[in-house]
Structure 1
């Protein structure tokens, strides 16, 4: 692991293949990220390419950690565009490659997003995750507060069962 860095708009495109590989790995290992398995590399690449305009516009910031010739982890920070919500941001697509888990990378990525949000003047962050997941444990242990849970919110990684989703916030 070489550390976490923010992708510039200029080097975002070069990282799309590695981000897509990571996305496919995360879904294949059971992460609830909006897509059921099997999740094809082309679909993952397409999803990341659809984010490029937001990255260029500064509405989404993507952080990566690279090592062992691949993207080991990522997290995205999105900024609200509405004038009455510019104090608020969202954390999403926090992923760690299955071979890099258990070493604190998820916590480092989350802290990086939180620090970047605070530096940008954001005072409140929001996120959602599958209830009972390993990610939920991470968020709780990192000081996030659950403000609600919705049953049957999203399909699981296999696409066969509906799962509860927990919603979190963290003041910065």
Structure 2
């Protein structure tokens, strides 16, 4: 199967529900996207609504979705987030980089990142940044797509009593 990407899709109730469902499924499969499993869709909605609020085709934040060609099923999502600070407008933060668990291991995450890079270059951005939760090997995944670790805050994320994880900053130079 191949992926079809859409930048700035209309955030109608069906799509927002699909994104929240994907978000909960990713979290419950062990994904590090702002929650710790188990999580319900109802618990994701408040955070999702805040994320959706900044999304507009002319900024400040943008949404990229991936659907599986043929089925039109939502497979992946990521948000380009502005830091809302003029001195940082030459780069964007990638937030909520997610591929549905049913589709992981097929290279779709790498395809989603490659499309984000293509879009960022088209916009004339100089860099992309993202953060990852330590302890899951995510920094190796992002490194395969050209990102390099540029910072690490030890024990910044508490996922369970006594279970602290590093907050890892990854950077992709587009120049």
Q: Shared topology, TM-score over 0.5?
A: yes
Q: Which moved more, 1:136-145 or 1:37-46?
A: 37-46
CA contact (8 A) 2:139 2:170 kept: no
Runs of 4+ aligned structure 1 residues displaced above 4 Å come to none
Aligned mates of 2:106, 2:118 — CA distance in 1? 20
Please list every run of 5 or more consecutive structure 1 residues that lacks an aligned counterpart in the other structure.
none
26-35 vs 100-109, greater mean Cα deviation: 26-35
Q: Deviations over 1:103-126 (max 9, x none)?
A: 111001111111212212210211
- Residue 28 (1) aligns with residue 15 (2): no
Alpha-carbon distance in 2 for matches of 1:46, 1:120: 30
Whether contact under 8 Å (1:16, 1:45) holds in the other structure is no
Structure 2 counterpart of 1:171:
173
Alpha-carbon RMSD across the aligned residues, in angstroms, is 1.9
TM-score in terms of structure 1 length = 0.88
Quote the Cα distance in structure 2 between the aligned partners of 1:69 and 1:141: 27
Contact preservation (8 Å) 1:27, 1:33 = yes
Task: Deviation per CA, 1:114-154: give whole Å up to 9, x if none.
Answer: 12122122102111102242432221111111112221111
What is the CA deviation profile of residues 56-114 of structure 1, one whole-angstrom value per residue up to 9, with x for unaligned ones? 26121111122456421111111232121111211111111111011111001111111
- C-alpha change, 1:109 and 1:2, in structure 2 (3 Å) is closer
The 10-residue stretch of structure 1 (92-101 or 36-45) with the greater mean CA deviation from structure 2: 36-45
Aligned residues: 169
**Using CA pairs below 8 Å that are at least 6 residues apart, which structure has the higher relative contact order?**
1
Q: 1:15 is matched with which residue?
A: 15
Bigger fraction of residues in helix: 1
Which residue does 1:143 correspond to in 2? 146
Helix, strand or coil: the match of 1:165? Answer: strand
1:120 to 123, 127, 140: 123
Match of 1:5 in 2: 6
